[in-house]
Structure 1
Amino acid sequence: MADPTELSSEGVGAGIAEVDACSLEIERKYDVIPAVICSMCCLFGIIYCFFGYRCFKAVMFLSGLMFGSVIIFLLCHKEHVLDTQLSVEASAGIGLGIGLLCGLVTMLVRSVGLFMTGLLLGLLLALAALLVTHQFYTPTTVWVPLGALLGTGMLFAVLTLQWQKLFTMISTSVFGAAIMTVCADYFVEMLALATHVYECLRLTPGPPLCWYSWVILGIWPALSLIGVLVQWKLTDDSFSHTEVVISRRQKRVQLMRIREKDAKKRQQAELPAKSAGQTDGHRHFP
């Protein structure tokens, strides 16, 4: 005869297993500082997505700032520096300082900024491809996603240096849409989608995404396409970052030419005065 306690435990276990995790209500507990940071990032994402190419210098600075700050923060926070574990505040301060330097370099040196912009585009596209591929196939080694990220990033960095305007608009639209998608993920499901992407990169198994996570993920390509169309319509042929550089050089050349003409006029005006002085001297002192 079967033990009734075993039956009851099996029944409870089966009932728990049948519960769909997507049907459970999400517990949302928002903190002030992360919510404010997320709102500011959403604003930056809108500027990136729809006005990225028009705000070329600002976008170059922000790209270097965010990329340098995030990388240095993760290195300082995860690794031991001088045999000491830095606090979150110290790691954030070091990351922000080095990020400012990276932002100045990407803003002042145009080729570095374009390389960084193309690198971000390649990393995001590779990340999207890995996320979709992970639903059907999981690599056995972490070098596969790392190689895909680095290879695609370097490829699009070179393409951006070759076709600057087109890939700058695409990169800023995709990056801005990604920022807004992460912000929506935070406010809707407390970064469940971002956590799933991180687990995919680490090749750790996790629960499948719910339907609303896929809806949030669908915001990314939709906003990216809209951003590219809006930027292409706004910029068209009326604005180019290269024309701004050329116009500044032309102004410098025109200013130098004006100064040369003024110097020649002064020399020509001084020559008759000198010759007149010499003739007067010969007259008084024969």
Structure 2
Amino acid sequence: MQIQKSFEAKDTGTLYLVPTPIGNLEDMTFRAVNILKEVDLIAAEDTRNTQKLLNHFGIETSQISYHEHNATERAAQLVERLKKGESIAQVSDAGMPSISDPGVELVHAALEANISVVPLPGANAALTALIASGLVPQPFYFYGFLPRKKKDVQEELEALNKRQETIVFYESPHRLKQRIEEMEKVFGPDRRVVLARELTKRFEEFVRGTLAEVKEWTNSEQLRGEFVVIVEGNDAPEAQEEQDWATWPLDEHVSRVMLEQGVSSKVAIKEVAQLRGIQKRDVYAAYHQLDQ
């Protein structure tokens, strides 16, 4: 067990997690600006991008790069500096560090070294979009970016389809159209969805509708900017699951029962027969690919 008293005097430095604006620079807090001025070093996802922010607020603190490609090596270096008493602020290009951005490796390394990790509140695209979405704001499930491979996306969406919470995704403009089509196939055309883009900027936009309606919108629009995609939860997951398995081939249904419940083919065949109200021998023949 570890207890952190964030502001007690200690020999080591402090790792500050500092949110940066997701668009509008006025969303930078007074405290965030002061921390960036006071620390010994800023660990930035992209030093060129962060330098623009520092210039805007007259911050002269030195930077060092910390991104997904050097996270492991750099985290060890930064922890050594923290041990020597230096304080470091970690920032990503926009929003909260560690939320679909670099940061978690450095946090883990600092905590293992018994160094205080102090988070600052601030801008976050997921929550900003969620509270204005019009969908139920809690409980919600934050997912972030879906996998790149189509097979992995299908599996993830099928698992997410059982969730009753509002689900929050991030997506890039060049993959949005495909993702909405994939969601419509798994979640159904009538599931409500909200797209939010250019949050806090001049051209901020919310698109609210069903997956079918939003799919048509993506076909007619030039998609630019990073998107937050918010999908309403499944209010009847059991009914949806029953509707889904009714369309599965018998052999696939048996295989899924075996996998999900960890039972033998004999037990799964019996359960599928009972669920579907058909003869066990028919399920057995389909699973074992026997001619009847």
Structure having the higher strand fraction is 2
Q: Between the two structures, name the one with larger relative contact order (CA 8 Å, sep ≥ 6).
A: 1
Structure having the higher helix fraction is 1
Asked whether the two chains share a fold, i.e. TM above 0.5, the reply is: no
TM-score calculated relative to the size of structure 1: 0.23
Greater gyration radius: 1
